[in-house]
Every structure is written in C-alpha cells, then in structure tokens.
Amino acid sequence: MEDRYDDALTHIRKAVQVAPGSADAATFACFILAFSGFSEEAVLHGERAMTLSPNYPGYYLGILGNAYRLAARFEEAISAFNAFNVRNAGFGLTDLVIIYQQTGRPEEAKQPAGQLLSVRRDFTINAWKSTQHQRPSCRFAKKNR
C-alpha cells in the first residue's frame, strides 16, 4: 500500500519459500503479485491457497478473482467473484460490474449492480474507490509480467 513493490515482492516470495504449506502466505502472494504486474504467477498462488485450505475464507475468492481479471482471464474471474458473493453477500459484485463493462457487456453489468445496491444499501462509488489501491502506472504495470 506504500508503493514498495520491489520490497513486497522480495518478502512474499521469501514467505512462500519458507512456508510452502501456508494458504495465507499463498493468498497474500496472489494479492501482491497481481498488483505488481505478475498476474499469471499470482493466479498460481491463489489457486494453490485454495488447495492448501479447502475451507478457505471467502476473501480468497476476491483476491483470486482480481488476479484472474488482471490476467485477462475474465470468465474465471466472473466465477470467482460470483462465488465470493455467495459466501459474503454483496462482495465481488462491484468487480463483476467492472468486468462486464471492461469486456463490452454493459447489459450483464446491470444485474450485479442492482444486487449490490439492494444488499449493501450504504454502498457508494466514492466510499468503494477510497478502499481500492490503484494499480501502479510504473514499470510493473507496463511489463504486465
């Protein structure tokens, strides 16, 4: 969150090396790698986390969904975000709206948008936006490793 991507990458890669059986380390690796431009590598860690912890918390699906989305694996992202919403009502729906818009399917975006507003009545774009870390415009995003 402090834009220290090189440090984060170094530390998370060490963490998964030291604790290869840790689902939490794999999930955090998924998060950090995806937003550092390593989306395909992130997907591998996210999927591994779910294998390591079959009773994983719902937010694992949200993190993996973002990795899929950043890797342009939109159908898998849609599945992950739908599953996230099933486990945690109202979560993953914003991401579904984004994906549908990104892929030129605005009519499909209407259903999750309506569901989001009915489940999370206090939801606002500004409040949501303030919780989102913008993907860097630095060298990491350009490389899309």
What is the pLDDT averaged over residues 20-42?
95
More confident call, 145 vs 102: 102
Instruction: Please tell me the CATH superfamily of domain 5-133, with its number.
Output: Tetratricopeptide repeat domain (1.25.40.10)
The ranges assigned to domains in the chain are 5-133
Which long-range contacts link 69-73 to residues 24+ away (Cβ below 8 Å)?
A: 69/95, 69/98, 69/99, 69/102, 70/34, 70/35, 70/39, 70/42, 70/135, 71/34, 71/39, 71/40, 71/42, 71/43, 73/43
Asked if residue 46 lies in contact with residue 66, where contact means CB atoms within 8 angstroms, the answer is: no
Percentage above 70 pLDDT, the chain: 88
pLDDT category at 133 given cuts 50, 70, 90 is low
Q: Could you tell me where the DSSP H helices lie in 1-145?
A: 5-18, 23-35, 39-52, 59-70, 74-87, 93-102, 106-119, 125-130, 139-143
What are 75-126's pLDDT values in tens digits? 999 999 999 999 998 899 999 999 999 999 999 999 998 998 888 887 777 7
Q: Give the largest CA-CA distance in the chain.
A: 46
Is the model's pLDDT at 55 over the cut of 70? yes
- Rounded to two decimals, the pTM is 0.84
The per-residue pLDDT for 134 is 58
Number of Cβ atoms within 10 Å of the Cβ of 37: 21
